[in-house]
Amino acid sequence: MISVNFPDFEKITAFWCEVINTIDDLLDETDELSAHETMSHYESSLKSIDQNLTFHFERDEADERIEMVFGCDGYAQSIASVLSLVDAAPIIDGVQVVAFNHRHDPLPVCIKVSDDEFRLDDFWFSSRVEKGEFHLSVFVKDYQNEDDNPAVEAVMIYLDALLGEFDLMTRVATLSWYSQPSEPLDHGLKPLTHLRDEFDQVRTQVQLIGATVH
């Protein structure tokens, strides 16, 4: 059973007051240091609401709006905080407030983590649906553990892009990591590029649950 973080609505109101008073200057700011200071202050305010809250800006090229995207770094217990924060958002000219990272089309060709670059076809997976639960296994070259592993970080970014952050948190029951065999096809594995199609074929059979990482 997932414990839920209940947000402090006074802190949410204070956060949005801060954003309203500073966001125009932030979006017009040309000095990178000043912009970083404002962004850091936003992050500190969010952490006071819920330690797992995250945000970033994306530009919607279709209508030239800025999207302010809030998430919770994969922690299902903080979904309520994200939804409460977005629900309380005021109308801000030129800015659309969005809950969770959505699926990306097209998918990123390459992801750089620190000094390492990873491509989607570097990774393989297997999956199964059992008693209404979707179990996902990801296979990474030379995998030893997930702590400070740039390949794991890259995969998590790809999983957000493939499935969307909300489905990743609420419809993937287990996410397991293994070292990639030299001949993945011989072990019945599939390229990670196929994950979205495979997941969508069974999505309606999968219960809404939180993720347990192994």
Q: Convert the pLDDT of each residue in 95-137 to its tens digit.
A: 999 999 889 988 988 999 988 999 999 999 999 999 999 999 9
- Are 53 and 15 part of one and the same domain? yes
Sign of the CA dihedral with 47 first, then 50, 54, and 57 last: negative
Compute the distance between CA of residue 62 and CA of residue 157 in angstroms, rounded to an integer: 23
85 and 115: one domain?
Answer: no
Task: Report how many domains make up the chain.
Answer: 2
| Cβ–Cβ under 8 Å, residues 79 and 139 | no
Instruction: Output Rg (C-alpha) for the chain, integer angstroms.
Output: 19
Structure tokens at 111: 């992801």
Among candidate residues 99, 119, 146, the one where a domain is terminated: 99
Helix, strand, or coil here: 179? Answer: strand
What is the share, in percent, of the chain residues with pLDDT greater than 90? 64
**3 lies in a domain?**
no
Q: Are strands 133-140 and 172-179 parallel, antiparallel or unpaired?
A: parallel
The answer to whether residue 105 sits within a structural domain is: no
- Please check whether residues 84 and 154 belong to one and the same domain: no
SS3 53: coil
Sort strands 124-130 and 190-191 into parallel, antiparallel or unpaired: antiparallel
Domain boundary among 44, 64, 99: 99
pLDDT tens digits for range 16-67: 999 999 988 887 877 778 888 888 999 999 999 999 999 988 876 665 678 8
Contact 96, 60 (CB under 8 A): yes
pLDDT in tens, 168-205: 999 999 999 999 999 999 999 999 999 999 999 999 99
Range of the structural domain that residue 157 is part of: 110-213
Q: Are 189 and 133 members of one domain?
A: yes
In a domain, 1, yes or no: no
49 lies in the same domain as 125: no
In angstroms, the first-to-last Cα distance of the chain is 17
Is 93 a member of any domain? yes
Amino acid residing at 139: F
Measured distance CA(91)–CA(83) in Å, rounded: 16
> Domain check: are 118 and 89 in the same one?
no
Peptide bond connecting 108 to the previous residue in cis, omega within 30 degrees of 0:
no
Final residue before a domain boundary, out of 45, 64, 99: 99
Residues 22 and 53 in one domain: yes
